[in-house]
Amino acid sequence: MEHLRLIIISVTLLLCTANAFAQRHYENIPALEVNYGANIFGDADNYCSLSFSKYINRKSYWKAGVGYFEKSYEYTLSTNESLDLPESGVPIDKGDDKGMDFYMDGGYYRTLATNLKSIYWSVGIGGFIGTEYLRHPKKEYTFIVGPKLETELEIFILPRTAILARIQQHWNPLSIDQWNTVWNIGSTALLNGKSYYHVFYYSISRYKCIRPDILVP
């Protein structure tokens, strides 16, 4: 009888744990993600970011991270530079270069639709702060700060790994390019979160798949 009871408890534990882990968004579960993207409109400037996130509950979470963003721009050449004639014989008075934004950002996200197992669609609002570096017409650093809106689709392909697809809208009033709409693709990995005990306890309280009297010797 004792052996049968032990088998029942073990099987039920496995079933409940599997069911619980199938729903990835848990309170206090942390995750690490990396993204790469580019501008949707204008020059396809490179964008990349590294973020840490934590779930507040099953429908909301926050993120904080660091990012790098290139921004193409034109600048006016100095008098000496414009004296050099190209093959066409027409003086060039404009130059092209890429500015570089280095920043920290953060945001709050809310899940709008999910199948509670592998697909999550969310929207987020947040902001960023950092510096913009320009090499021409002279080297200078500019303080940047602004808000952002975004929407992202998260699809889990492994128990703790998901691929991300995201679109962001940045407003950067102090930058050489104030409005940027960026697409991202990336990956997120869930880190150590709740122990099996907490997951099992959640399964009991949420799904009531184990009778309390079974656990009593």
Q: Are residues 52 and 40 in the same domain?
A: yes
Evaluate if residue 25 carries a pLDDT over 50.
yes
Q: Which domain holds residue 211?
A: 1-26+194-217
Q: Are residues 151 and 211 in the same domain?
A: no
Q: Report the distance separating Cα 38 and Cα 159, nearest Å.
A: 29
152 domain residue, yes or no = yes
Q: Looking at 45-199, which runs of residues are DSSP E strands?
A: 46-57, 60-76, 94-114, 119-134, 140-158, 161-171, 179-190
Phi, psi of 121 (to 5 degrees): -115, 125
**Largest Cα–Cα separation, the chain:** 98
Evaluate if residue 13 carries a pLDDT over 50.
no
Q: How many domains does the chain have?
A: 2
Q: Are residues 11 and 33 in the same domain?
A: no
114 domain residue, yes or no = yes
Per residue in 187-210, pLDDT tens? 999 997 554 444 445 444 554 544
Q: Are residues 17 and 114 in the same domain?
A: no
Task: Provide the CA 201 distance to its chain's centre, in angstroms.
Answer: 30
Q: Are residues 103 and 137 in the same domain?
A: yes
Q: Are residues 60 and 136 in the same domain?
A: yes
DSSP state of 83: T
Q: Are residues 50 and 121 in the same domain?
A: yes
Per residue in 93-138, pLDDT tens? 677 888 999 999 999 999 999 998 899 999 999 999 999 999 887 8
Q: Are residues 113 and 205 in the same domain?
A: no
The amino acid at 112: L
Q: 70: which strand partners?
A: 100
Highest averaged pLDDT of the listed ranges 42-46, 67-71, 197-201? 67-71
- Return the SS3 of 202: helix
Q: Report the distance separating Cα 190 and Cα 197, nearest Å.
A: 18
